[in-house]
Chain A
């Protein structure tokens, strides 16, 4: 079971450790004052990664080989120069920059692929590194796909890849989730791609476009490690699940208190168990009734429990972003953090929650580290 948690926040990377007494406490902070947008603990090597967005100074990536004691800056994904004379205009009339705006997804390859990392970015480029993050290469096959130019972006100005799922059976099979760009999949290590969002429904589009796979807005996609044909998606207007590797998605309706949210986690050993953190849908984006809850299904979405033991019951306005819910390899420990700096951990699958802090900076991502 994991005893360390990386928490990426607007003002630094906080390292949370479990004490012998079972309390989760803030142990240290790296990059205090800097905007840490994402973190990753690579289970293959123990290397930690922290993505920073300095604003003025751009996006950076750092890695640590000694559990955060020291960090070194490594390379960032570099977009190529656009072809001479090309000014790419999106459907909103904006010029799409061929420049890195945000590191939005970071995942390791399989144990059989040492050094391989995948990185999803805004404005929509997928990159890979074969040297543990020192250098990066744009996946041109996806970037050059004409359908990529139809991606719209969601809350951000430009589209982005926020979810990367590497199939544990075959590292060449990778599924990515795109904000207002559907779900895309390769089976040949990134040479060719296909949009795999059939069955997803976008209620924010005109009826004739509602089932267009390429305009779907998955907020987060996760893949079951124990049955990789099952993937779960927290979508802009609902919860979806596929049981055939993305060939067809099924909508799961009527999940109280809401099917809106950003985050989803799936149990590492049981594909039928998944967790979500709901909120009032998009126009408000606060907990329903001011009460923070987690929803959990144990039966593939046929029914849900609402978990609230240890969570605030009223006047809580915490929103949980897509990378701010994580589960450890045991499946019993989960953690989630909010935009208002609250952080909770459970050690029993969500039946009881421990408040780690209510005073952290806005939390963008949480990742168990060991």
Chain B
């Protein structure tokens, strides 16, 4: 099952430890994780479901390309990391 890990910085606001979920896309996996940790949704995606502007999701080490619909494919044993995007500084 895909494994979802949320940035440690998010834990200060919402408890969302690593979890195993069922899904074939990033959207499906994140939605499944939000079922477990409802409070995390608004911190990761905006009101229209797009990835927040300064967040980034890696699937097996690759930043996803579809930040709007989160349609990137996820494999059975994928590692999904939900992180803050850093840009300099």
On A, residues with C-beta under 8 Å from B are 54-58, 60, 73, 76, 78-79, 81, 98-100
Contacts and interface: CB of A to CB of B under 8 A. Distances in A.
The 5 nearest A-B residue pairs measured at CB: A57-B43, A56-B84, A56-B54, A78-B47, A99-B46
Contacts of B47: 78-79, 99-100
8 contacts: A54-B13, A56-B54, A56-B84, A56-B85, A58-B43, A58-B52, A60-B13, A99-B46
A73 B55 CA distance: 21
A98 B55 CA distance: 18
Interface residues of B, number: 15
Contacts of A81: 48
A54 B10 CA distance: 10
A58 B46 contact: yes
Given A81-B48, A99-B48, A76 B42 contact: yes
Interface in B2-41: 9-10, 13, 39
A39 B17 CA distance: 31
A73 B54 CA distance: 21
Given A78-B47, A81-B48, A57 B10 contact: yes
A73 B43 CA distance: 12
A58 B55 CA distance: 10
Contact of A56 (B39, B42, B52): B52
A317 B42 CA distance: 37
A94 to B, nearest CB: 14
Given A56-B55, A56-B85, 13 more contacts: A54-B43, A55-B54, A57-B10, A57-B13, A58-B52, A78-B47, A79-B47, A81-B48, A98-B48, A99-B46, A99-B47, A99-B48, A100-B46
B42 A60 contact: yes
Nearest to A82: B48
B20 to A, nearest CB: 24
Contacts of B54: 55-56
A286 to B, nearest CB: 26
A81 B50 CA distance: 11
A76 B52 CA distance: 15
A92 B44 CA distance: 29
B30 to A, nearest CB: 14
A81 to B, nearest CB: 6
Contacts of A98: 48
B52 A73 contact: no
A187 to B, nearest CB: 30
